[in-house]
Amino acid sequence: MKVKKQFMQMIKRSVCAVLSFAMAVTLLTSADIFAQAAETEPMFTIAKGGTRFFDYADINQSVSGDPSVITVETGIRSQKALFNCESQANHNLSGYSTTPNGEMDISEAEFLVESSGDAYTIYNETEQNYLANGGGFSAYFAKTEITHALNRVEHEDGTSSFEICRVSDDRLNGRYVYFYYAVMTFDSVSEKTDSLKALGDFEFIFLEKKDKPSNLDPIPGYQRVSEIQSGHSYLITKFYHDEEYGDVIFVLYPRNSNIELSKLYRTVEIPGVLLTAVGDYGQ
C-alpha cells in the first residue's frame, strides 16, 4: 500500500507539472507560439533526456511546474532556409532578405533538362519558362525553346561543375550564364575572358533530387551530379563562402528580373525556448 501511495503521489506530481506548464502556455497571451502549440497539441510526451524546441518563444513567459520533471531554458536552433533577393550588393549578402521565405518549395526551382541535338533545353515547369540567357535580366527566360551546351568541368577532388553556353542561330549564340560578384546574382555575358573570371564565375553545380535525404546533402534531399542525363530535373546552383554566414548556395530561379533570378540558401539561427525532460519514466 505504501508503494502504491508513493506511485500515486508521483503520478499526481507529474500531472500537476504538465498541467502547470499547459496553463502557463495558454494563459500567456503574448506568447503566441506557445499558445498556438497548446491549441494544436495541448499534451505531448518527451522521453527522459529528450527535448522539444519552440521557435521564437520568450523565456520570460515560460515556466515549469516542476523543474525535476522538465526544465525550461533559452536555446538556438540552426535551420537551412531560402531567402529572397531584394537588391544588388557588391561581394556580400546584404542584398538578400534576413527573413526566410517559408512559403517557397525549392522544387519550384528545378529545371527539366532534355537533349536536343548536341545541346539541351533547360525548362522550368512551374513558371513554364526556358532558360534563354539573352541580353539583360529581362530576357533571361523565354517561352520559346532555346538550347544550351552544358560543358563539364572536372575538379581535382573528383567533383564536377558545368558551364552553360547558349547555342542558337542568332547574334546571342555563345552567351554564357555567369555569376557576377559585383551584384551577387546570376548574370549573362557574351564571352568568357580572364577578366570576367576574376570578377565572377562561369561554373555551376547541378543538384538532383534523391530518394533518401542525408545530413551530407548540400540541400536536404538533393545530391551533386557529375553528369547530366536527359529527362532529369536539376537545381542550378552556385556555391559560395561568405565571411559572415559561411557556406551558402545561390539557387537559379526561373523569373526575369535581377532580384527574381536568385534565391539564397543558408543557415539561419532561430532563438526560442528549449524543454528538456529530466524526470524518470512515467513522469
189-202 residue pLDDT tens: 999 999 999 999 99
pLDDT of residue 30: 34
Which amino acid, one-letter code, is at 237? Answer: T
Output the pLDDT for position 58. Answer: 81
Given a cut of 70, whether residue 78 has pLDDT beyond it is yes
Q: How far apart are CA 227 and CA 136, in angstroms?
A: 29
Average pLDDT over residues 156-163: 96
Span 178-237, pLDDT tens digits: 999 999 999 999 999 999 999 999 999 999 999 999 989 999 999 999 999 999 999 999
For 14-45, how does the pLDDT look when each residue is reduced to its tens digit (9 = 90+)? 433 333 333 333 223 334 444 555 555 556 67
Assigned C-alpha cell, 226 = 557529375
pLDDT of residue 64: 66
Nearest Cα residue to 82 out of 259, 249, 232 = 249
pLDDT at 87: 95
Q: Please, which pLDDT band fits residue 148 given cuts at 50, 70 and 90?
A: very high
Ramachandran assignment for 10, one of left (phi > 0), alpha (psi -120 to 50 degrees), beta (any other): alpha
